Amino acid sequence: MTAYAGLPVASVDFLSWEKCDVGLPATGQPKFSASVTATPVTCDKTTVNRDWSIDNYSFRARLDTKDAFFCSGVTIWNNDGCSGQPVHFQSFDHSPLTDGECLPDILEPGYISFKLECEGYP
């Protein structure tokens, strides 16, 4: 994990599934996974895996620093610049760990980018 002095930090896993039930927690072993670090002032990104067998996606997020407990969740965009209309918001719901629900194949080829949403940061 990269060190970010004085910033709230969260780890986000982007999980690709062959099949999972949309709207329910994704369980089992994902087909592919990618991990990124999210802060309120950086925009981390990873590629969207376009394997023909991928039908669903989910996100898992974990608060890594004490000051991250003031953060509400992670905003996710389907581009490499954290801009435009987000495709998903992964809420922490007052917990340091969140396993997201299974999402349909809503992502376009290219990148997804992440930004941690925290009180007191733009």
Q: What is d(CA 107, CA 14) in angstroms, rounded to the nearest whole number?
A: 12
In the predicted structure, residue 4 carries a pLDDT above the cut 80: no
Could you tell me the CATH number of the domain that includes residue 23? 2.60.120
- How do the residues of the chain divide into helix, strand and coil, expressed in percent and rounded to 5? 5, 45, 50
Report yes or no on 85 lying in a domain.
Answer: yes
Name the percent of the chain lying above pLDDT 70.
95
Report yes or no on 26 lying in a domain.
Answer: yes
Going by C-beta distance under 8 Å and a sequence separation of 6 or more, which residues neighbour residue 94?
A: none
Report yes or no on 35 lying in a domain.
Answer: yes
Asked if 83 and 37 touch (Cβ cutoff 8 Å), the reply is no
pLDDT at 83: 97
Encode pLDDT of 32-68 as tens digits. 999 999 999 999 999 997 788 899 999 999 999 988 8
> 44 vs 2, 17, 35, 117, CA distance in Å?
11, 22, 10, 13
Domain of 50, in residue numbers: 10-118
Report yes or no on 1 lying in a domain.
Answer: no
Report yes or no on 5 lying in a domain.
Answer: no
Name the percent of the chain lying above pLDDT 90.
75
Report yes or no on 22 lying in a domain.
Answer: yes
Environment class of residue 32 by beta-carbon count within 10 Å: exposed (0-12), middle (13-18) or buried (19+)? Answer: middle
6-32: average pLDDT: 94
Report yes or no on 113 lying in a domain.
Answer: yes
* Kind and range of the H or E run holding 16: strand 10-17
Q: What are phi and psi of 68, to 5 degrees?
A: -75, -10
Report yes or no on 3 lying in a domain.
Answer: no
Number of domains comprising the chain = 1
Question: Which pTM was predicted?
Answer: 0.89
Q: The tokens 């007052």 sit on which residue? A: 94
